[in-house]
Structure 1
Amino acid sequence: MTLLKNIFLFLLMLALQQVWAQDTEQTYKKRVLETTEVDFLWSYYSQDGDNAAVSGGRGTEELTDATGTIIVSIPLNDDDVLTIDAGVSAYTSASSSNVDPFDKRSNADPFVASSGASQSDTWVNLTGNYSHSSDDRNDIWSAKFSVSSEYDYFSLGFGGSYTKLFNEKNTEASINANVYLDKWTTIYPFELRPFGENGIGFFRPEEITGNTNYNPNFSELDQTNRNSYSLGLGLSQILHKNVQGLISFDIINQQGLLSTPFQRVYFSDVDDSFIENFQLADDIERLPDGRLKFALGGRLNWYLNEIIALRTYYRYYFDDWGINSHTANLEVSVKLGDKFTLYPSYRFYNQTEADYFAPYETHVSTEKYYTSDYDLSEYSANQYGLGISYTDIFTKLHISKFGLKSIHLKFYQYDRDTTFSSSIITAGVKFVMD
């Protein structure tokens, strides 16, 4: 009797243990994000060159921009995370100041900045992203909404993504889609405004030299909106315990106003007119109202050992405007102890020119589409970078209730085989709430 009682108690304990284990397995799961994280990001960008699109492919491209961003990631529960991204960018541009080059004390000149209102502006952006992960963390859904604005531009965006992990999380497939609805406030080169429908602005015919019979065949744009639709596919695979690969495909369809209203074009078959040292526009940039873009990319990350990791990337891009481009990037991550990492990088880029591009005073007035924006020209570029990061997973340093998790600092130098060059320095600090 005692033996049967002991066997019964033993089986009962096994059954209760199994029920408890199943219940624990069903109810316990690791949170997607343990605690609130806050990122403070800052960047300073400067550029220069001699092919400003505002002045028809010649003139200063000098510009400086300072940007500050705060990103707050909040765990709503075990499965859901809300991320809010807010940024402000303030720039000063010698190029865009020459939308109206005739409002400064010195002579108007495409290589000299004007002092008008268009020389500087502020861009603001707010993005919200909500993500949900399944109990087994193999399915992730996300949705986002964004709004951004500057003096002549306003944009609304929304989108979503889905990620599926399988093969014991060694394989990851993803799809994302986004829509951006943008609207321009059409600001035209100053000298063309009297020839538009509203006849606004001030014009000084008595000061014209060269062709004194300045009479451009200018008409205002009949649309001010631009809609962009994008779809992206990605497939990531762990190929070896130290090697991970990824391939991606993106397609973007843009419709609406795809040219910039204040960018000038000069024709070779029209006599030149000047005020002071500034050539008056023959017309503004004109481009098709549709553009289809495709990009196919691949990444290969190779962790050589505990100290060195290689990150490589290649992308091929083409569109129906005639541009084909290749991008290749290499970054080497070098650990300098437990907390510091150094990562030098190199990026190469080249592209063919768009069907509608031609340099300063090369287009003819009988063409339907034309631009002298060197971003659409044929060129090659090299970018060299160096970054350093500090990471403390134990967040020993605290400021109030926030522990310092990481700091990074990066510098990039970018040079085209034209006269254009730029540099950017970025810094970021991440805190986590205790």
Structure 2
Amino acid sequence: MKKIILFICVFAFIKINAQTKQDEAKVYKKRVLETTEVDFLTSYYSQDGNNAAVSGGEGSESLTDVTGTFVVAMPLNDDDVLTIDAGISAYTSASSSNINPFDDGKADPFQASSGASSGDLWANITGSYTHSSDDRNDIWSTKLAISSEYDYFSVGVGGSYTKLFNQKNTEVSVHGNVYIDSWKLLYPIELRKANGGKGDEDHFDISNYTITGNTDYAPNFVPLDGTARNSYSFGFGFSQILHKKVQGSLALDFVKQNGLLSTPFQRVYFSDVADSFIDSFQLADDIERLPDSRFKVAAGGRLNWYLNEFVTLRSFYRYYSDDWGISSHTASLEVPIKITDKFTLYPSYRYYNQTAADYFKPKETALSTDVYYTSDYDLSKYTANQFGFGVSYTDIFAKMHIRNFGLKSIDLKFYQYDRDTSFSSSIITAGFKFVMD
């Protein structure tokens, strides 16, 4: 009996001790996010070129865009984080202004018009929720996104699951998203009343203008069917620590799109139709016509090599292909250089090239008997180079304060992008991360 009582006491002690350790682990487990973090991101973007799709592949592509975004990440408890991402973008565009080039003086594809389509606001808000398991080896997330501008509205939902194992040296993930978009069918001004096209809110009357070239301008324009576009994406990720100084990752993504994939206000000029002009602006023969479905596949990988405490190499490669005939290669290298315990420099380079879509036709090369055609140089064959440079400031103790928020980091970056067509662009970005005391 004494042995039995002793066994019971020992067993009870072991169980109580184990339970106490579990409770202590639960009490003292590290939170996924210790405190609320706020990121403010802003950028200034400008571009130029001579192949505007709005004017049929010829004309000014000048555009400027200013954005501002707040990202607020809030810990709901030890395991759950709610993130709100809200931003607004304001742009002015010489290209889109020529949806109606006849509203202020002489019309010219290389000159901006001052009409309503010369600028717009884009707004977005995304909410995401992330849950991590007690051992931090399982991570689930969901999101809801809404964005809108003058002629476009989008709602998106998505989710992901990430699994870490092998002492967190290995990570696999899967993610999916669905976006439901709708367009306002905004056609080039001269086509809006042709052959059943919708009326024109600007009260444009072509009979008030002098047409030169082919004075018998009578486009065979058929309005587009439907205003919806649905996009479905699904992807896999794999990451592995290969060495204490080397980490690699692979990604595979699939995207399926259905619905309105043509841009309603992008003009096309046919080689077998005589040209008609008002001033120096050529009147549209038709608009861009593209298939109502598209399937995309992208596969890529990253390799990060920690050379020493001062220099890291971050490399990336991706191959892309779709059923419109485009295939592309992207390769990039970023070399963070830590110059002090708080300042890091970020020189970078990115190379890109792609083949042309099957439906790409430069100005006046498409035939009126073709089924699909576009003069959008984003779908043309081209090679591009991008050079970048950045600097970051990090203070893990967030000693600088603005009210109840400590400044944790500042990131400033500049990128210059050039295609072997006439297109070039530059962007300056700034990011500020604050943590709540």
Which category of TM-score, normalised to the shorter sequence, fits these structures? over 0.9
Question: Post-superposition shift, 1:193?
Answer: 1.0
Distance 1:258 1:15, change over 3 A: closer
Q: Give yes or no for the alignment of 1:54 onto 2:54.
A: yes
Q: Give yes or no for the alignment of 1:42 onto 2:69.
A: no
Please list the CA deviations of residues 12-69 of structure 1 after superposition, one character each: whole Å capped at 9, or x if unmatched: 9888655432331244310000000000000000000000000000000000000000
Q: Give yes or no for the alignment of 1:194 onto 2:197.
A: no
Report the AA paired with residue 268 of structure 2: V
Return the alpha-carbon distance in structure 2 between the equivalents of residues 14 and 165 of structure 1.
Answer: 30
Using the size of structure 2 for normalisation, the TM-score is: 0.95
Paired residue for 2:160?
161
Question: Post-superposition shift, 1:262?
Answer: 0.2
Report the AA paired with residue 423 of structure 1: S
Please list the CA deviations of residues 304-334 of structure 1 after superposition, one character each: whole Å capped at 9, or x if unmatched: 0100000000000000000000000000010
Return the alpha-carbon distance in structure 2 between the equivalents of residues 186 and 330 of structure 1.
Answer: 41
Paired residue for 2:366?
363
Tell whether the 8 Å contact from 2:314 to 2:335 is kept in structure 1 after alignment: yes
Q: Give yes or no for the alignment of 1:178 onto 2:177.
A: yes
**Identical-residue share of aligned pairs (%):** 70
Paired residue for 2:73?
73
Question: Post-superposition shift, 1:202?
Answer: 2.0
Report the AA paired with residue 311 of structure 2: I
Return the alpha-carbon distance in structure 2 between the equivalents of residues 45 and 109 of structure 1.
Answer: 24
Please list the CA deviations of residues 239-265 of structure 1 after superposition, one character each: whole Å capped at 9, or x if unmatched: 000000000000000000001000000
Most deviating of 27-36 and 243-252: 27-36
Return the alpha-carbon distance in structure 2 between the equivalents of residues 334 and 126 of structure 1.
Answer: 34
- Secondary structure, in 3 states, of the residue corresponding to 1:288? coil
Report the AA paired with residue 383 of structure 1: Q
Question: Post-superposition shift, 1:196?
Answer: 4.3
Paired residue for 1:204?
206
- Say how many residue pairs are matched: 426
Paired residue for 1:280?
283
Question: Post-superposition shift, 1:400?
Answer: 1.1
Using the size of structure 1 for normalisation, the TM-score is: 0.96
Q: Give yes or no for the alignment of 1:244 onto 2:243.
A: no
Q: List aligned pairs for 1:178-327, cutoff 5 A.
A: 178-197=177-196, 198-200=198-200, 201-205=203-207, 207-327=210-330
Tell whether the 8 Å contact from 1:384 to 1:414 is kept in structure 2 after alignment: yes
Return the alpha-carbon distance in structure 1 between the equivalents of residues 387 and 71 of structure 2.
Answer: 27
Most deviating of 261-270 and 393-402: 393-402
Q: List aligned pairs for 1:341-360, cutoff 5 A.
A: 341-360=344-363
Q: Give yes or no for the alignment of 1:426 onto 2:425.
A: no
**Equivalent of 1:398, from 397, 401, 404?**
401
Return the alpha-carbon distance in structure 1 between the equivalents of residues 332 and 237 of structure 2.
Answer: 18
Return the alpha-carbon distance in structure 2 between the equivalents of residues 311 and 368 of structure 1.
Answer: 44
- 5+ long unaligned stretches in structure 1: 1-8
Paired residue for 1:143?
142
Tell whether the 8 Å contact from 2:235 to 2:251 is kept in structure 1 after alignment: yes
Return the alpha-carbon distance in structure 1 between the equivalents of residues 181 and 431 of structure 2.
Answer: 29
Return the alpha-carbon distance in structure 2 between the equivalents of residues 169 and 178 of structure 1.
Answer: 26
Return the alpha-carbon distance in structure 1 between the equivalents of residues 351 and 323 of structure 2.
Answer: 23
- Secondary structure, in 3 states, of the residue corresponding to 1:269? coil
